Amino acid sequence: MSIQVKDVMGRVAITVTKNASFADIVAAMKRYAVGAVTVIDADRRPVGIVSEEDLLLKETLPARRSVPVFESRRRRQEHRKAAGVTAAELMTAPAITVTPGTSVRDAAELMRDRRIKQLPVIDPVTGRASGTLHQRDVLRVFARPAAELEAEINALLPDPAAFWVEIDGGVVSIRGTVEWSSQVVDLAEAIRRIEGVVDVVTDLSYDKEDLLIVPPLL
Band of residue 80 on the pLDDT scale cut at 50, 70, 90: confident
- Of 9, 11, 24, the C-alpha closest to 91 is 24
Which CATH number, 3.40.50.300, 3.30.1340.30, 3.40.50.1820, 3.40.640.10, labels domain 146-208? 3.30.1340.30
Dihedral pair phi/psi, residue 187, rounded to 5°? -65, -45
Task: Answer whether 54's CB lies under 8 Å from 25's CB.
Answer: no
Amino acid letter, residue 207: D
pLDDT at 216 over 80: no
Residue 217 has pLDDT above 90, yes or no: no
| Per-residue pLDDT, 2 | 77
In the chain, list all ranges with CATH 3.30.1340.30. Answer: 146-208
- Which segments of the chain belong to CATH 3.10.580.10? 5-142
Neighbours of 212 (CB within 10 A): 6
Q: The whole model's pTM is what?
A: 0.74
- For the chain, the residue count is 218
Mean pLDDT for the chain overall: 89
Helix-helix angle 52-60:22-32, to 10 degrees: 130
What is the per-residue pLDDT across 37-70, written as a single tens digit (0 to 9) for each? 999 999 999 999 999 999 988 888 765 555 565 6
Across-strand partners of 118?
134
Query: Which pLDDT band holds residue 76 (cuts at 50, 70, 90)?
Result: confident
Instruction: Give yes or no for a contact between 155 and 187, defined as CB atoms under 8 angstroms apart.
Output: no
**pLDDT tens-digit series, residues 145-179:** 999 999 999 999 989 999 999 999 999 999 999 99
Query: What architecture is domain 5-142?
Result: Roll (3.10)
Range with lowest mean pLDDT among 27-36, 78-87, 189-198: 78-87
Predicted pLDDT of residue 154: 96
The pLDDT confidence band at residue 207, using thresholds 50, 70 and 90, is very high
Residue 47, phi-psi category: left (phi > 0), alpha (psi -120 to 50), beta (remainder): alpha
Please check the confidence at residue 87 and state whether its pLDDT lies above 90: yes
Percent of the chain with pLDDT over 70: 92
- Give mean pLDDT, residues 100-113: 93
Compute and round to an integer the Cα radius of gyration of the chain. 24
